């Protein structure tokens, strides 16, 4: 992509992502070193509209099918996982617009084509009910993409005026998200990590901050949803899980492509046989390619089948939620296996910063550590298949 590139905004998101790919490749090292997306990358992403795929159309978004979103994130992650992660995070956050009063969502996204909402995790953060809204005190971690965000959110437990905590239908404490401009909180530079460095996922906090009630949201609660579009029959958890599985698949695709290039050219030290002529390498490459294709196809088919079913019935079943959880967690760990195969067979070449393996290896192993990659999710799937009642927190 160069200054003369014309983006067709009617094209599928994956096609637009492929046009942005050269900018990502040219900036990947700077993104990691600076722990932030570069201005050139942000210009390209916003120019292609890639932060707006899951935003409601009435605020300048696209409301794309989840499978089309997955295809786009994979293309971005082939070149730079941190950029893809930020796209996934910001896009998932943008689904909150469907649950806000339209005038508030328009204030955040409608007037600024470069608007991005980001948030992180903050167990124990409290929003105390007061006249007109809440007094908020909290500290949140893992705010991926906050350096280019325009707004931030803070998930909080709600403390009623009598000191009790608001509860949900399951009897547990209900979480509500407070929204405020990015300039509001204090930040701590805490993102010194092994992988996904470019996400700049720093920590932020506020103390006794007033947030008006209209600038708060309970995500994925039908009673608060203002948009009836098909996309919002899926929850933010479904799209986060799909996005981060797509990051893993994109990393694995980039790793596979790099390994094929290496194997065609390399003859390992102290041998006379080219890497490509090794039966072990041939077998392992075929196995890795099969794992990648199966994981990608499983995720895309699951999302497309669910979309079509929900479009016909108007509701998503527990079985379909289980299917999404299985497809996303499975894809993350199959992608890791692909990356590990390529890493092993690339030999000592893989450890050099100048080669296209080392950063992808670190990024992939960072992806598996995120909440969507927890292997315990498969316990919930197995319990459901056996007729039990799984915890629905991540379904």
Q: Which residues are CB-neighbours of 351 under 8 A, at least 6 positions away? A: 357, 358
Residues 84-108 have a mean pLDDT of 96
Residue 392's closest CA among 295, 325, 342, 338? 325
What DSSP state is assigned to residue 108? I
Q: How far from chain centre, in Å, is Cα 22? A: 21
Distance separating alpha carbons of residues 392 and 380, to the nearest angstrom: 8
For the cut 90, the answer to whether the pLDDT of residue 1 exceeds it is no
Give whole-number Cα distances, 194 to 35, 48, 200, 366, 375, in Å: 12, 30, 12, 7, 20
Quick: pLDDT tens for 25-62. Answer: 999 999 999 999 999 999 999 999 999 999 999 999 99
pLDDT (average), residues 290-299: 98
What tens digit of pLDDT does each residue of 160-179 get? 999 999 988 777 888 999 99
Cα Rg of the chain (Å, integer): 22
Q: What does the pLDDT look like over 362-388, one tens digit per residue?
A: 999 999 999 998 999 999 999 999 999
Neighbours of 188 (CB within 10 A): 12
pLDDT of residue 169: 77
Residue 321 to residue 395: CA distance in whole angstroms: 6
239: helix, strand or coil:
helix
Q: What is the pLDDT of residues 180-201, one digit of tens each?
A: 999 999 999 999 999 999 999 9
In residues, how long is the chain?
Answer: 395
* 28: exposed, middle or buried (Cβ count in 10 Å: 0-12, 13-18, 19+): buried
φ/ψ of residue 183, rounded to 5: -75, -10
Mean pLDDT rounded to a whole number for the chain: 94
Which residues, including other chains, have CB under 8 Å from residue 376's CB and lie 6 or more apart?
none
Residues 6 or more apart in contact with residue 335 via CB below 8 angstroms: 245, 248, 249, 251, 252, 292, 295, 364, 367
Write down the residue that tokens 């009897």 correspond to. Answer: 171
Spatial distance between the Cα atoms of 111 and 129, rounded to a whole number of angstroms: 30
In three-state form (DSSP H/G/I as H, E/B as E, the rest C), the secondary structure along 245-290 is HHHHHHHHHHHHHHHHHHHHHCCCCCCCCCHHHCHHHHHHHHHHHH
Fold for the domain defined by 117-224: Butyryl-CoA Dehydrogenase, subunit A; domain 2 (2.40.110)
| Phi and psi based region of residue 200 (left: phi greater than 0; alpha: psi -120 to 50; beta: remaining) | left
> Phi and psi (nearest 5°) for 312?
-80, -35
CA 54 from chain center: how many Å?
12
Work out the pLDDT band at 147, boundaries 50, 70, 90.
very high
pTM comes to 0.94
Domain positions in the chain: 13-110, 117-224, 234-385
Query: Do residues 91 and 54 lie in contact, with contact meaning Cβ atoms separated by under 8 Å?
Result: yes
- Hey, what are 395's tokens? 């379904």
Name the one residue in this structure whose structure tokens are 């992509």. 1
Is 332's pLDDT higher than 70?
yes
CA distance 212 to 349: 55
111 or 156: which leads in pLDDT: 156
Residue 6 has pLDDT above 70, yes or no: no
pLDDT tens across 353-363, in order?
A: 999 999 999 99
| Beta-bridge mates of residue 143 | 202
pLDDT at 341 over 90: yes
Are the C-beta atoms of 190 and 165 separated by less than 8 Å? no
pLDDT at 3: 47
Fold of the domain spanning 234-385: Butyryl-CoA Dehydrogenase, subunit A; domain 3 (1.20.140)
Domain 117-224 and domain 234-385, same fold? Reply is no
Instruction: Map tokens 């983006």 to a residue.
Output: 7
- Looking at residue 49, the DSSP 8-state letter turns out to be T
Closest CA to 325 of 388, 376, 367, 249: 376
- Percentage with pLDDT > 70 across the chain: 98
CA distance 80 to 34: 14
Give me the CATH code for the 13-110 domain, please.
Answer: 1.10.540.10
The token duo for 75 is 């293309």
Residue 270 φ/ψ, nearest 5 degrees: 70, 20
């Amino acid at each position: 992509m160069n200054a003369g590139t014309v983006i067709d905004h009617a094209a599928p998101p994956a096609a637009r992502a492929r046009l942005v790919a050269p900018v990502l490749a040219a900036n990947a090292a700077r993104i990691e070193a600076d722990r932030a997306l570069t201005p050139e990358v942000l210009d390209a992403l916003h120019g292609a509209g890639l932060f707006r795929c899951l935003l409601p159309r009435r605020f300048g978004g696209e409301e794309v099918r989840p499978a089309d979103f997955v295809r786009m994130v994979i293309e971005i992650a082939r070149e730079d996982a941190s950029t893809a992660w930020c796209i996934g995070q910001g896009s998932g956050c943008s689904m909150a617009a469907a649950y806000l009063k339209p005038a508030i969502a328009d204030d955040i996204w409608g007037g600024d084509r470069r608007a991005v909402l980001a948030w992180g995790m903050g167990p124990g953060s409290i929003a105390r009910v007061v006249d007109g809204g809440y007094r908020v005190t909290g500290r949140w971690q893992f705010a991926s993409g906050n350096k280019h965000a325009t707004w931030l959110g803070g998930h909080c437990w709600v403390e009623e005026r009598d000191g009790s905590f608001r509860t949900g239908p399951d009897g547990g404490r209900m979480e509500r998200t407070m929204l405020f401009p990015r300039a509001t909180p204090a930040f701590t530079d805490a993102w010194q990590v092994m992988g996904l460095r470019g996400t700049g996922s720093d920590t932020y906090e506020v103390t006794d901050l007033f947030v008006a009630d209209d600038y708060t949201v309970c995500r994925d609660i039908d009673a608060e949803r203002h948009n009836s579009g098909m996309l919002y029959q899926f929850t933010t958890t479904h799209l986060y899980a799909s996005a981060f599985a797509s990051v893993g698949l994109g990393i694995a695709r980039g790793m596979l492509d790099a390994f094929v290039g290496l194997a065609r050219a390399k003859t390992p030290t102290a041998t006379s046989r080219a890497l490509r002529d090794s039966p072990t390498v041939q077998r392992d490459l075929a196995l890795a390619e099969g794992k990648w294709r199966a994981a990608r196809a499983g995720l895309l088919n699951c999302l497309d089948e669910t979309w079509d079913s929900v479009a016909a019935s108007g509701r998503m079943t527990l079985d379909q939620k289980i299917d999404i959880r299985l497809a996303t967690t499975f894809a993350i760990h199959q992608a890791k296996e692909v990356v590990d195969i390529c890493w092993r067979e690339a030999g000592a070449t893989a450890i050099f910063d100048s080669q296209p393996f080392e950063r992808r290896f670190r990024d992939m192993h960072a992806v598996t550590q995120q909440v969507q990659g927890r292997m315990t999710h498969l316990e919930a799937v197995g319990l459901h298949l056996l007729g039990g009642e799984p915890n629905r927190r991540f379904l």
